[in-house]
Chains A and B, each alone.
Chain A
């Protein structure tokens, strides 16, 4: 292995080991949360809601829950890890190493990506044991989930770098991301909303992500899949470019 490969793998290993050390909190809690959502909204309420667009309600909800858990975990992990290391000053150890901005950014990004991937996979396995969950379009599902994971990993890095206190991170998660995710149609179909809420939902970027993942699982969508994928690729690319620029300039990382 070359020194650059060792360097990158160590940076990445550190990020993964951080959340593995506290896995009750970082893996167990989100998994339980997803399981509770499936139980309450799927099993308990689902029987009264009936089918949505010909799909059993619990099956309609699960794709959005899987997308939600991957995105929130990717975001939370990266924003917390970076802010925590900035707070302790421990990030100086990585910043004073020969690692390039690209290596640092990718390693920080992939930490949260991995955590989201693990929780989402466990949630998928658990859901598959409880209900008959189809995977209709795997070639749309996998790229969509990976892009959503990478997008929120980047967002976590951006907020972690910008944040100066823990409140800055929780503000974005509580007052921006969670409302957007909940109002993006995880638990319902926007097509059934009265106006102007149906139209307003189309301005929520997360609505398109949920539709992509839902289409991948159950084959139902309310938006154009190719256009949504294209927009997600573009948004992720822009966010990555912004972060790379921040790491190269040392914004809020180097004095």
Chain B
């Protein structure tokens, strides 16, 4: 495939995944023919239990895992073989705090932008801007290993945004962060989504997905089993809300709050 975006004559797709299969050498099939489309400008939620394949899908999209078969396109650019333009368009804030302990906060941002080919002057301006946005300016010369968990989380998000990606992938960005920071992150990602950045979010906080995402997909056992808006998913499973739809998906309807309340207060 070339670096030129393919033209299918349809609406622009930020992410276009076709029949994606990922089988690990040990034989585990983490993705079993996933097909998924995320439109440009969407705020898309990918929900599923642990081990469902969410992170594997993200890793295949960003080059951290190699698909067994299938195709991935980011804004029409191949993301598997001729991946230059596709990677340039993606920013990843991973679930793990994968920052280099020996770098300072400022170096972490500067190097990242350099890996994406951003010139020095622009890197310095963008670094200043994001340090300010994420309240990291005072910590700019601090080694990353000395940061608190919340600060590391901010840094990872700032790093993902350094090269101005058109598709931002947030893999459980609010896991383990306090309420204040969670709300701060929500406001920020909502704002950049309104400014045109497409967002793919995985989370275990269903209220987060409900509040932020215009479209949600359920993934289970390596397959997309349902997708639509929060309301559409609830309707599909014949339940009142997204949480109950999720519980129906994972086969744990008995944990539904309405079910439990009905049992406790008959």
Q: Report the stretch among B10-18, B90-98, B124-132, B250-258 that lies at the interface.
A: B90-98
- Mask, B62-90, CB within 8 Å of A = 1, is 11111000000000000000011101101
- A1-B119, A96-B92, A98-B87 are contacts. A85–B114 as well, Cβ < 8 Å? no
Shortest CB-to-CB span from A90 to chain B, Å, is 4
Q: Report the stretch among B40-48, B99-107, B198-206, B210-218 that lies at the interface.
A: B99-107
Cβ A97 vs Cβ B24 within 8 A: no
Cβ A254 vs Cβ B63 within 8 A: yes
**Whole-angstrom distance between the alpha carbons of A182 and B48 in the complex?**
57
Q: Which residues of A contact B92 (CB under 8 A)?
A: 92, 96
- Mask, A217-253, CB within 8 Å of B = 1, is 0000000000000000000000000000000001000
Contact of A9 among B97, B114, B159 (CB under 8 A): B114
Whether A115 sits at the interface, judged by CB under 8 Å, is no
Cβ A10 vs Cβ B94 within 8 A: no
Whether A14 sits at the interface, judged by CB under 8 Å, is yes
Q: Interface residues of A, CB < 8 Å — how many?
A: 31
Q: Interface residues of B, CB < 8 Å — how many?
A: 34
Whether B118 sits at the interface, judged by CB under 8 Å, is yes
Contact of A94 among B96, B102, B115 (CB under 8 A): B115
Cβ B111 vs Cβ A10 within 8 A: yes
Q: Which residues of B contact A92 (CB under 8 A)?
A: 64, 92, 94, 98
Whether B190 sits at the interface, judged by CB under 8 Å, is no
Shortest CB-to-CB span from B236 to chain A, Å, is 32
Whether B112 sits at the interface, judged by CB under 8 Å, is yes
**Whole-angstrom distance between the alpha carbons of A7 and B119 in the complex?**
9
Q: Which residues of A contact B120 (CB under 8 A)?
A: 6
- Mask, A58-102, CB within 8 Å of B = 1, is 000000000000000000000000000100111011111111100
Q: Which residues of A contact B99 (CB under 8 A)?
A: 88, 90
Contact of A13 among B64, B87, B114, B118 (CB under 8 A): B114
Cβ B64 vs Cβ A254 within 8 A: yes
Closest residue of A by beta carbon distance from B55: A255
Q: Which residues of B contact A196 (CB under 8 A)?
A: none
Cβ A7 vs Cβ B64 within 8 A: no
Whether B149 sits at the interface, judged by CB under 8 Å, is no
Cβ B117 vs Cβ A7 within 8 A: yes
Closest residue of A by beta carbon distance from B115: A97
Shortest CB-to-CB span from A139 to chain B, Å, is 37
**Whole-angstrom distance between the alpha carbons of A99 and B163 in the complex?**
14
Shortest CB-to-CB span from B4 to chain A, Å, is 15
**Whole-angstrom distance between the alpha carbons of A208 and B239 in the complex?**
76
- A254-B64, A255-B59 are contacts. A97–B98 as well, Cβ < 8 Å? no
Shortest CB-to-CB span from A208 to chain B, Å, is 37
Shortest CB-to-CB span from B107 to chain A, Å, is 8
Contact of A6 among B64, B100, B119, B159 (CB under 8 A): B119
Shortest CB-to-CB span from B215 to chain A, Å, is 24
Shortest CB-to-CB span from B23 to chain A, Å, is 11
Q: Which residues of A3-49 have CB atoms within 8 Å of chain B's CB atoms?
A: 3-4, 6-7, 9-11, 13-14, 17-18, 21-22
Whether B116 sits at the interface, judged by CB under 8 Å, is yes
Name the 3 nearest CB pairs between A and B, nearest first.
A3-B117, A10-B114, A89-B98
What are 12 pairs between A and B in contact, CB < 8 Å? A2-B117, A6-B114, A17-B107, A22-B102, A88-B98, A89-B97, A92-B98, A93-B98, A96-B87, A96-B90, A255-B24, A255-B59
